[in-house]
Structure 1
Amino acid sequence: MDDIRVAVVGLGPRALGTWIPLLQRIPGFRITALCDPIKALHERALAQLTTQEDVTTYERYGDVLAADDVDAVALTVRSEHQGGMAADALEAGKHVHAEVPAAHSIEDCWRIVDAVERTGLTYQLAEQTRFWGFVDAWRDLVAQGRLGHVTYAEGQYFHYHLGGMFQDPRTGTLLGPDRLGEYPDAKPTWVQRMPPIHYLPHELSPLLKVLDDRVVEVVGMGTGQPSKANPDVAQPDLQVALMRTAKGTVMRLAASFANPHPDGSWHWYQVLGTNGRVEWNRGLRDKPRMWLADGQMHDLAEVDWRYERTDAPREARGSGHGDADFYTHVAFRDAVLDGRQPAFDVYRAMDTAAPAILAAKSIAQGSVPLAVPDFQRHKENP
């Protein structure tokens, strides 16, 4: 196989603005199909292609899975069914590169794991924050024991983003509650129904990479519905989860999309150990910080860690999300062409999805602690 023939499924902003441009820019991919139930989006996607020759458009996902000229599915949907759609593709003989989160139910997590184990096909979650430069720097500090035993870690994704809460069914236009007067037929999207805590992979994935760990127990709490800040939005303003890892680290993770928050300062992380602490910047004019107990340091000191990697190749620059989008596509491409699983494999992907799913379930059950499945153990004892 010289090129991976890809079907881009779900033609929203992520597909049009990032996936389609990158799949054409990175060698080893060839887009052969586009799919979305909203036909008006087909023309917008086709306009992004450098060539439309041999590209087929579909409204039905099942037709994509039956296509002979599709090797892999780029799953860029926002839907409660996205986990099941990934499993369907694997079962149909297609490799899968899927947008976060991996799934919205534990059953779909297991379906994906089972499909990969039975077919041997490549599955990768397109979670890009784990490729950031500072994540590797923090991982090295932990691995070298510079922070001591890690006792506590935090991660939060506060992205005040109302623009995808509604969609016009005819044009596919995504909009916020402030534009409902312009689009009287607009309907709430899945994003509005999704528990915000489900969208934790961008926090869990890098932290679990830093800690080389997995979550074993979770309990959640959240604000009520609808949003207090935006009553037209059915989503809670905020949800928070406390988690315990296999190595004994306590983690606090939180997510919010409806509560006002400064633009751009979406991600924040902290790792605290028995011998030191690292912390991401709190705002755009702030700097990351570090303190080491054995480093003759009397206070936290600023460190010039960044999203962008110092060892980034020229092709990565400007790819999106601090250049990290490039790495997830290259990792998927190389795994498919080499006939193997990526380093960020299906088990690690589900380790980012299951704790978030169970945090929402904990909230629904009155904040009871819930155990998290061990997907790696299933790998050893299928």
Structure 2
Amino acid sequence: MNQDRRGFLKRTGLSAGGLLLTGLTGYASQEQLDQDIEAGLQQGKKRKQRFNMCNYAAPAIPVVRIGFIGMGNRGGWACTRIRNIKNVEIKAICDVREYPVKLHQNNLKKAGWPAAAEYYGKEDSWKALCERNDIDLVYITTPWEYHVPMAVYAMEHGKHVAVEVPAARNLEEAWQLVTTSERTRKHCMQLENCCYDFFETMTIAMAQQGVLGELVHGEGAYIHTLLDGMFRKPKQDEAPQWRWKENQHNGNLYPTHGLGPIAQAMNINRGDQFSYMSSMSSDDFMMKPLADKLAAGDDPWFKPFGNKKYRGNMNTSMIKTHHGKTIMVQHDISSPRPYSRIHALSGTKGYVQKYPEPGKLALGHEWMNESGLKKYEEQYSPELIKHVATAARTVGGHGGMDFIMDWRMIDCLRNGLPLDMDVYDAAAWSAVTPLSIWSVSHRSNSIDFPDFTGGSWKQNKPVDLSLRGGGNTVIQLSV
């Protein structure tokens, strides 16, 4: 390791194989941001891929044994959804708090499931879960700062990993996921549920079959009014708020919901790749005024919110791909706007868009009416969706896409099939955040994307949403 690299590691709190040891927000200074971006880009230029995890079929696991880390809203709901799949065992549940562990242990008992091992009470209780020899998959639904340390530790101990979005907060963390997954040959799948929504999967299939012609442009977003909850005082037994700390960085902090389906439709990392991006944020007209108002009140709990600088209300990032396509990704969680992920694909022969509801389709210059759109949904909904649609709508979870995501992952693991989302997707989609922060802080200058695939994007196969010889994972509805 050369002296420049050693110097970078020393300055930013890294060890040669360690993790970025900064505060919750990931970057302590502008200098550290610049260093992370430069080091991450250089690693992409110098690195040779150790093993290609794209389209990798790990050995089949007939019964998938799962350990859950983080039993808050997302983790508790995931543990509940999984109980609708027969070919799994819930071996362990973990949270730093005792209450949610006991709550979901009791839910397992009520549902007739065997008791799971319990881990709680210590900041590092999750390590013991990862070290167990009777777990195949670690399911991580914790605050963002813990995603990479937990995922890396789990893979190092022989476990496949499913990690909530965003998988990584900076390029160093993204590279940690990539290199660990390749070295251990363990899957690291980002839990991007929006890639399994009904409309999005239909449009991916249409794009792959040429119905829209050559894709030219895509749009995705996360526009979701969360301002009131951002600074809400937690009730008894609730986890403390942490998102307000993440939102002190100015960029696109949550890109993957809108970006994931667009990337799959455009075959990113599978025939094309993100080349470079530019990002711009509005000023903050809402978060700081509210935070300062709360901090000026009588309740000392709100004091830490005040006298801070928060990200701009709306961030718009533009990505150019190697093959000349463009993607717009937006982020706004403070303005009073209707929820939207946008999801638009523009091709030489047609256009699809969802949000505002309902979905819309145009071929040539002709817009489809509701019955026409229904016909295309029946024709182009992938085999995977048709197989589990009824159960997914019954189980629910963002309209059913949460359950589709879980069932698909388990079915692939059980049958030794490649996952639809691999570690390169997790790294590239998550990398939008640090790259956008860098661009915003440099007057929206463009910045390159690292090639996390080591050049294999040129021959990697596109996402295949057929059952691919699987489909034998039994659904047993318990909701």
Q: TM-score, normalised by structure 1?
A: 0.83
Query: Is residue 278 from structure 1 mapped to residue 278 from structure 2 by the alignment?
Result: no
**Closer, same or farther in 2 for the Cα pair 1:157/1:310, shift >3 Å?**
same
TM-fit CA distance, 1:228:
4.8
Q: Which of 246, 251, 254 pairs up with 2:330?
A: 254
1:289 match: 360
Contact preservation (8 Å) 2:251, 2:436: no
TM-fit CA distance, 1:216:
1.4
Q: Secondary structure at the match of 1:81?
A: helix
Query: Is residue 44 from structure 1 mapped to residue 120 from structure 2 by the alignment?
Result: no
Query: Is residue 12 from structure 1 mapped to residue 72 from structure 2 by the alignment?
Result: yes
Instruction: String of CA shifts for 1:217-242, please: whole Å, max 9, x gaps.
Output: 11111133473586217443221101
1:55 match: 117
TM-fit CA distance, 1:370:
0.8
Q: Give the structure with the higher percent helix.
A: 2
Q: Secondary structure at the match of 1:102?
A: coil
331-340 or 299-308, which deviates more: 299-308
CA–CA distance in structure 2, aligned partners of residues 88 and 164 of structure 1 = 31
Count of matched residue positions in the alignment of Structure 1 and Structure 2 = 362
Residue correspondence of structure 1 range 137-286 to structure 2 within 5 A: 137-162=202-227, 164-166=229-231, 171-173=236-238, 190-193=245-248, 197-213=252-268, 214-225=273-284, 227-228=286-287, 231-232=290-291, 234-262=310-338, 265-283=339-357
Contact preservation (8 Å) 1:40, 1:170: no
Contact preservation (8 Å) 1:46, 1:52: no
Which amino acid is 2:410 matched to? R
* Higher gyration radius (CA): 2
Query: Is residue 359 from structure 1 mapped to residue 436 from structure 2 by the alignment?
Result: yes
Query: Is residue 31 from structure 1 mapped to residue 90 from structure 2 by the alignment?
Result: yes
Query: Is residue 105 from structure 1 mapped to residue 165 from structure 2 by the alignment?
Result: no
Which amino acid is 2:254 matched to? Y
306-315 or 113-122, which deviates more: 306-315
Contact preservation (8 Å) 1:200, 1:353: yes
Q: Secondary structure at the match of 2:343?
A: strand
**Closer, same or farther in 2 for the Cα pair 1:366/1:202, shift >3 Å?**
same
Q: Give the structure with the higher percent strand.
A: 1
CA–CA distance in structure 2, aligned partners of residues 41 and 194 of structure 1 = 30
**Closer, same or farther in 2 for the Cα pair 1:47/1:261, shift >3 Å?**
farther
Which amino acid is 1:53 matched to? A
Which amino acid is 1:35 matched to? C
Instruction: String of CA shifts for 1:68-95, please: whole Å, max 9, x gaps.
Output: 3333211001222312321221112221
CA–CA distance in structure 2, aligned partners of residues 48 and 194 of structure 1 = 38
Instruction: String of CA shifts for 1:143-185, please: whole Å, max 9, x gaps.
Output: 343333322221111111246535768944258xxxxxxxxxx
TM-fit CA distance, 1:379:
5.2
1:70 match: 135
Instruction: String of CA shifts for 1:302-342, please: whole Å, max 9, x gaps.
Output: 53478995553433223312211122212322333344541
TM-fit CA distance, 1:63:
2.2
**Closer, same or farther in 2 for the Cα pair 1:144/1:379, shift >3 Å?**
closer
Q: Secondary structure at the match of 1:354?
A: helix
TM-fit CA distance, 1:207:
0.6
Contact preservation (8 Å) 1:5, 1:69: yes
**Any unmatched runs of 5+ in structure 1?**
176-185
Contact preservation (8 Å) 1:197, 1:356: yes
231-240 or 305-314, which deviates more: 305-314
Instruction: String of CA shifts for 1:261-310, please: whole Å, max 9, x gaps.
Output: 22xx3321222223332221314xxx3222222x7x3x575534789955
Contact preservation (8 Å) 2:250, 2:281: no
CA–CA distance in structure 1, aligned partners of residues 451 and 118 of structure 2 = 40
Which amino acid is 2:402 matched to? D
165-174 or 193-202, which deviates more: 165-174
Q: Secondary structure at the match of 1:197?
A: coil
2:447 match: 370
**Closer, same or farther in 2 for the Cα pair 1:378/1:64, shift >3 Å?**
farther
Query: Is residue 315 from structure 1 mapped to residue 391 from structure 2 by the alignment?
Result: yes
Which amino acid is 1:28 matched to? N
